[in-house]
Chain A
């Protein structure tokens, strides 16, 4: 690897330099391979969260729906690590199930936002002209509307359910990604290596998939990972307002809302699920920060 060494360091110095705005495009894999620690921290943190979401229900000591003891048992008593709720269900088990719903819902909406927004941004940025104009006006109109407020109205119209919540949030969440991808693609399209690709007679499709998409990937990954936390919070808010799954389902936001009246007498019943959302959002925000540090300067 002796020959490759100087090249990599030059890229590195350009990339890390304080004023190097137009760094050479370095592929995602190269940056991850260079043993940078933040990326590994981010990866392990996200893996732990996903593991918790996948195996959480298997770890749950009780059923999330059937009472397992006395109502309002404080945390740490009678085998209830996080206490029991108003009809004696185990809070820990309900929270573990709720984490699964929260985490995978957030990932699903992110994925749909990245796919839809990314596609629109890629087509707009790569095609230019009137296609770009039309697609971006459309995107801007969506961006100018208050997304979270609109999402409330969409679920209220379709009828409260988890699936409708995901659809509603998906509808308002993609425009942001379209903007970012389009911006990245436009700035990449003006670079010499893209000009070379065009001159060599590469088709539009191969330019899009082999040159523009990989170049825009780091920005998408950073934006998406910093966004997971926001999305967890937005979905929790809708669930809190009663727009998620109906009553006995262990959804974190709804658990906090339905037990609001017990706050002063048995604080753990509404607080524990809210804390779980906080920890989930906090961990994914930290992971996003690490990922940004590893992929971008400043």
Chain B
């Protein structure tokens, strides 16, 4: 198959999945235990006011018509109005999204780096591989909030090395053009702001990265062990190459495929964990927005966040598949 055809087909599949996601959100909004008309008007609204509001929201139309309206609104970027903030959800999301994107980007990067290190270190029979395995199982068993709480307790409470909340503690952070505080600070030439932003990122990004890093490391270890049994590795060893060169230059390249797919899958876990981590670190992203919306049952806000996180997940996985295909033309999906 031609690479362009492959990319087109993969993106087509992503669109189908998105349609399913939108349909799921529509169904859930109808199962929702709060009536939107009541939620907007408050508990003391009169019957006629509620009826008028229902008509205005289109809740009396046939269900199929409502679905087409919902999809049309989604395509126009209209996700309804939040019960809590009374703003259009799209407007709220646009405000909170850059912080989440920055955090998720650094977390994913960190997860890949840590996963690579864990995988290579545990596949090569180095000293400490057993301890490493123990650390990996522990890391995979720790709930995110335990890691976050311990991090705050130690690095903020006792040592005072890292800040515990927010994106920055400096006044007048740059507001554009990318929305990534680290990048904006760099573009504005404010290096102390860059350092400050990185300090704030370090703890939440690490907490988010540990679980996915362990999974990536395990998969990488598995495929490395298989590849290391191949004939060409024996050839490389018999040429007299050092084990490190064999591992890093010959074996690693043919082993990263499964680890990359795992990264795509782990992105889903990372995005769900993002809601918890943003809540603990008061990171002003869409996860924080969702966590604030959950206790008050603000379903339009929650479904907006779900759609954005779902979109991110689907896109990351499509990208991973396309990258794999470009790296190795034998890949079939």
Q: A residues bordering B, Cβ < 8 Å?
A: 18, 141, 144-154, 156-160, 229, 233-234, 236-237, 240-243, 253, 256-257, 260, 263-264, 267, 270-271, 274-275, 277-278, 281-282, 285-286, 289, 298
Contact = CB atoms under 8 A, between A and B. Distances in A.
- 4 shortest A-B CB distances, which residue pairs? A148-B272, A274-B146, A146-B268, A282-B141
A275 to B, nearest CB: 7
A interface majority secondary structure: helix
A298 B218 CA distance: 13
Contact of A229 (B140, B269, B276): B140
B222 to A, nearest CB: 8
Given A253-B143, A278-B142, A289-B137, A149 B268 contact: yes
11 contacts: A145-B20, A148-B269, A153-B303, A156-B293, A237-B143, A240-B143, A241-B294, A243-B294, A256-B149, A277-B146, A285-B137
A157 B229 CA distance: 51
Contacts of B306: 149-150, 152-153
A243 B296 CA distance: 11
B302 to A, nearest CB: 4
Contacts of A152: 272, 275, 290, 294, 302, 306
A241 B309 contact: no
B143 A263 contact: no
Contacts of A275: 146
A133 B318 CA distance: 22
A257 B145 contact: yes
B313 interface: yes
B299 interface: yes
Contacts of A285: 137, 140-141
A241 B279 contact: yes
Contacts of A289: 137
A149 B272 contact: yes
A106 B13 CA distance: 32
Interface string B227-264: 00100000000000000000000000000000000000
A158 to B, nearest CB: 6
Interface string B297-312: 1010011001001100
Contacts of A150: 21, 24, 306, 310
B302 A146 contact: no
Interface of B: 13, 16-17, 20-21, 24-25, 28-29, 31-33, 137-138, 140-146, 149-150, 152-153, 157, 222, 225, 229, 267-269, 271-273, 275-276, 279-280, 290-291, 293-295, 297, 299, 302-303, 306, 309-310, 313-314, 317
A144 B297 contact: no
Contacts of A264: 152-153, 157
Contact of B28 (A153, A237, A243): A153
Contacts of A277: 143, 146
Nearest to A274: B146
Which of B33, B146, B317 has the most A CB atoms < 10 Å from its CB?
B146
A18 B150 CA distance: 42
B115 to A, nearest CB: 17
Nearest to B142: A278
A154 B28 contact: yes
A281 B222 CA distance: 22
A237 B152 CA distance: 18
A233 B143 contact: yes
Contact of A144 (B17, B31, B153, B280): B17
B40 to A, nearest CB: 17
A264 B157 CA distance: 6
A94 B183 CA distance: 46
A137 to B, nearest CB: 10
Contact of A157 (B28, B275, B310, B313): B28
B33 A281 contact: no
Given A152-B306, A158-B32, 5 more contacts: A145-B17, A146-B272, A160-B294, A278-B141, A282-B138
A156 B31 CA distance: 10
B140 A237 contact: no
B280 A260 contact: yes
Nearest to B29: A157
A141 B268 contact: no
B314 to A, nearest CB: 7
B299 A156 contact: yes
B302 A156 contact: yes
Contact of A153 (B25, B141, B152): B25
B31 A157 contact: yes
